Amino acid sequence: MNNMTRLSIRSALGLAALLIAAQASLAVERVDSRVLASFREVVAQPAKSTVQIYCDGYKSALGAVVREDGYVVTKSSELKGKIECLLYGHRMDQKLEATVVAKDPALDLTILKVDAKDLTPIAWSDAAPSVGSWLATPGISSNNDPVSIGVVSVAARKIAAPAGALGISLGERDDDEARIEGIVEGQAADKAGLKRGDVILKVNATTINNKVHLIATIKSYMPGEKVELLVKRGSEELKFTAILGSFLQLFHPAGDRAEFQNNLGGPLSERRAGFALAIQHDSVLRPADCGGPIVDLDGKAVGLNIARAGRVESYALPAALVRDTVAKLLETHLTSAPAANAPAPAPEKAPPTER
| Number of residues in the chain | 355
In degrees and rounded to multiples of 5, residue 153 shows phi and psi of -95, -45
Contact between residue 268 and residue 308 where contact means Cβ atoms under 8 Å apart: yes
Residues facing 154 on adjacent strands: 280
Q: How high is the pLDDT of residue 355? A: 37
In degrees and rounded to multiples of 5, residue 54 shows phi and psi of -115, 140
Q: How high is the pLDDT of residue 27? A: 40
Contact between residue 268 and residue 287 where contact means Cβ atoms under 8 Å apart: yes
Closest to 78 (Cα-Cα) out of 226, 272, 255: 272
> Looking at residues 34-52, what average pLDDT do you find?
94
Question: Distance (Å, rounded) from C-alpha 321 to C-alpha 157?
Answer: 12
Q: How many helices (H) and strands (E) does the chain have?
A: 8, 21
Q: State the chain's mean pLDDT as an integer.
A: 86
> Looking at residues 102-108, what average pLDDT do you find?
95
Q: How high is the pLDDT of residue 4? A: 47
Q: Which of the listed ranges 27-36, 255-264, 298-307 does the model predict with the highest average pLDDT?
A: 298-307
Question: Distance (Å, rounded) from C-alpha 246 to C-alpha 268?
Answer: 15
Q: How high is the pLDDT of residue 35? A: 84
Contact between residue 195 and residue 183 where contact means Cβ atoms under 8 Å apart: yes
Q: How high is the pLDDT of residue 354? A: 42
- pLDDT band of residue 25 (cuts 50, 70, 90) is very low
Q: How high is the pLDDT of residue 325? A: 98
Residue bearing the bigger pLDDT, 15 or 46: 46
> Looking at residues 26-43, what average pLDDT do you find?
74
Cα-based distances in Å from 330 to 115, 251, 308, 336, 345: 16, 42, 27, 10, 25
Q: Which of 169-178, 211-220, 257-266, 290-299 has the lowest mean pLDDT?
A: 257-266
Residue bearing the bigger pLDDT, 138 or 32: 138
Q: How high is the pLDDT of residue 252? A: 60
> 253 in the Ramachandran plot: left (φ > 0), alpha (ψ -120 to 50) or beta?
alpha
SS3 147: coil
Q: Which of 151-155, 294-298, 308-312 has the lowest mean pLDDT?
A: 308-312
- pLDDT band of residue 26 (cuts 50, 70, 90) is very low
- pLDDT tens track for 47-90: 999 999 999 999 999 999 999 999 999 999 999 999 999 999 99
Question: Distance (Å, rounded) from C-alpha 54 to C-alpha 133?
Answer: 31
341 burial (CB, 10 Å; 0-12 / 13-18 / 19+) is exposed
Cα R_g (the chain), whole angstroms? 24
Closest to 147 (Cα-Cα) out of 61, 267, 80: 61
In degrees and rounded to multiples of 5, residue 228 shows phi and psi of -95, 125
Q: Which of 155-169, 201-215, 241-255, 337-351 has the lowest mean pLDDT?
A: 337-351
Q: How high is the pLDDT of residue 134? A: 96
The yes-or-no verdict on residue 32 having pLDDT over 80 is no
Residues facing 228 on adjacent strands: 241
Q: How high is the pLDDT of residue 63? A: 98
- pLDDT band of residue 106 (cuts 50, 70, 90) is very high
The yes-or-no verdict on residue 347 having pLDDT over 80 is no
* Cβ atoms < 10 Å from Cβ of 273: 17
- pLDDT tens track for 122-159: 999 999 999 999 999 999 988 889 999 999 999 999 99
Instruction: Give the residue ranges of DSSP H helices in the chain.
Output: 3-23, 33-37, 40-44, 188-192, 211-219, 247-251, 254-263, 319-336
Q: How high is the pLDDT of residue 259? A: 56
Q: How high is the pLDDT of residue 91? A: 87
> Looking at residues 262-272, what average pLDDT do you find?
75
